[in-house]
Chain A
């Protein structure tokens, strides 16, 4: 196989070809390392780690030659979002604050992936501290989507956020799969923008230990890859109980890949009527209707359900997430790691303030300020406690929906990818991009985006499946039913 063919393969294709002896893991690693090296124009990687990918590949080749047991991801190189601490490799959360930070420990998620035989191609760019929906808040510059509109304008488009380096790398086929993290939609929205698949599991499935924290009650790692099967394989390897994370759930990880089935006979698919938002583009509505038809074709029964508190999910999220962020990001003070800005004659307080002013970007500061305000004396109950109560109502809406259906089908995002700079001047307009992904995040539910089609400008649009707690299988299966019927094969033309 030529190097070009190898980089066309996804996770399952690499795994199976490697096991069958069609190619070596080293050939795969070399092909992807070369693809990464040739894609600087996307700015998807903050740090490239070809040595890591090659070492893992050589270990996989040796294990195969020795007849030793091969891990589930033996021979598969991955991109790792730069929010996961990787021992010996710079981890910055795309911030100046953590510039040069080299962890002395490995996050549980990456330890599991590497333990399953995967190698690392590099650390992927993201919105700074995972705060953003467009990848315009990174201290290392914007990620550019590999996609272009078909209007010949060549406007650089947003790859979505916060996992925009991950989505761009997978869509450009410079990585067969990548880790993402999802706090309010940061796996699903970028997956939708770039025509790939991405799953956020139930909160607690993946350990958060060693992952740079944004909003602890929401953050959850997940998988981004070419298709549903690849996501199932990767998520299986990432998930599992971890005593080091007190919110990790003590449940065994099912064999999701083995149980994949696109037959939805006997399943009920709920359509939440409140997701029909004002001003939703006709393309999105049409794709949603197409998705409903695909679900019926797969044997499912369609039922309308009501999630009455949907419209309050975004304002609830923009209280809870900044509140938790203001607390989590208090650790960046210039003492133990990261940047220190010590003006002449400064005392300790001055050092804290100067360091945090210099190390955080505008969006991060904005969210810390909102979080500090809503948690401050006199406002705590009016904002934070109120938001936690509304969050309970949002979760209850979903619990009531599960009495009527097995999964929910919605659009992933209210539009196709927008151009870089198009929304960055208006934080509220940017926040509204997560309108369909935030409610399930607040409820901790598993949810997935799969590509459904192209808009008139030739850009991918995604459909979202939301499932019951710990029913990742149901989410994967319904997503597979869409994938098989959508037959999405569009790819960005190579310009980088």
Chain B
């Protein structure tokens, strides 16, 4: 599989990264080079192999469903680029 400029633009949009036409043109061969190299995994017979999501055997730990943290609004907001009235502020999303 190889990607073209339209695909790169679509991926950039999914990844929420603004790209100029020049950025897109530069990215096309780079991604194709890397994806072409990755294609060699197709040689590996993985029939009947379970995908490995974690190297840690066993199951997910559970904890009691109780609040153990919180009430730190000012700490949470301390690094916000813009915070107002105790909230994160963003550009208007509803007209």
Which residues of A are at the interface with B, using a C-beta cutoff of 8 A? Answer: 101-105, 203-204, 217, 243, 246-247, 249-250, 309, 311-312, 315-316, 318-319, 326, 330, 333-340, 342, 346-354, 356-357, 360, 365-366, 368-370, 372-373, 376, 379, 382-383, 385-393, 395, 427-428, 442-444
Contacts and interface: CB of A to CB of B under 8 A. Distances in A.
Contact of B41 (A203, A349, A373, A390): A390
Interface string B1-45: 101000110011111111100000001001101110110111110
12 contacts: A104-B72, A203-B55, A249-B56, A312-B43, A335-B88, A347-B91, A348-B93, A350-B18, A357-B18, A392-B50, A427-B33, A428-B34
| 5 A-B pairs with least C-beta separation | A444-B55, A388-B51, A340-B81, A337-B79, A389-B46
B15 A369 contact: yes
A373 B11 contact: yes
B85 interface: no
Contacts of B1: 379, 382
Interface string B47-58: 001111111100
Given A315-B37, A315-B40, A388-B51, A393 B46 contact: yes
Contacts of A316: 41
Given A104-B75, A315-B41, 9 more contacts: A104-B79, A247-B56, A312-B41, A330-B16, A357-B17, A373-B7, A373-B31, A428-B37, A444-B55
A186 B5 CA distance: 33
Contacts of B76: 104, 336
A354 B35 CA distance: 26
Contacts of A427: 30, 33-34
Contacts of B41: 312, 315-316, 319, 386-387, 390
B18 A319 contact: no
Nearest to B77: A336
Q: Is the interface of B mostly helix, strand, loop or mixed?
A: loop
Contact of B15 (A356, A392, A393): A356
Contact of A388 (B3, B53, B93): B53
Contacts of A387: 41
Given A370-B31, A392-B49, A428-B33, A336 B79 contact: yes
A354 B53 CA distance: 33
A333 B8 CA distance: 20
Q: Which of B14, B50, B52, B93 has the most CB of A within 10 A?
A: B52
Interface size class of B (residues with CB under 8 A): 35 or more
Interface of B: 1, 3, 7-8, 11-19, 27, 30-31, 33-35, 37-38, 40-44, 46, 49-56, 60-61, 63, 72, 75-76, 78-82, 88, 90-93
B44 A393 contact: yes
A342 B91 contact: yes
A351 B90 contact: yes
A393 B17 CA distance: 34
A361 to B, nearest CB: 12
Q: Which of A348, A360, A388 has the most CB of B within 10 A?
A: A388
Contact of B44 (A312, A348, A354): A312
Contacts of B37: 315, 318, 428
A456 B21 CA distance: 46
Given A315-B37, A340-B82, A369-B27, A349 B16 contact: yes
A442 B34 CA distance: 19
B15 A217 contact: no
A351 B78 CA distance: 20
B50 A334 contact: no
Contacts of A203: 55-56
A352 to B, nearest CB: 4
A168 to B, nearest CB: 28
A351 B35 contact: no
A321 to B, nearest CB: 12
Nearest to A332: B16
A338 B79 contact: yes
A383 B17 CA distance: 22
Contacts of B19: 357
A411 B8 CA distance: 38
Given A346-B91, A370-B34, A356 B17 contact: yes
Contact of A389 (B27, B43, B51): B51
Contacts of A373: 3, 7, 11, 31, 35
Contact of A217 (B33, B54, B60, B90): B54
Q: Which of A250, A326, A366, A373 has the most CB of B within 10 A?
A: A373
A390 B42 CA distance: 10
Contacts of B79: 101-104, 336-338
Contacts of B93: 347-348
Contacts of A365: 17
A372 B81 contact: no
Nearest to B54: A217
Contacts of A444: 55-56
A208 to B, nearest CB: 12
Contact of A351 (B27, B40, B91): B91
Contacts of B54: 217, 247
B31 A338 contact: no
Contacts of B16: 330, 333, 349, 352-353, 356
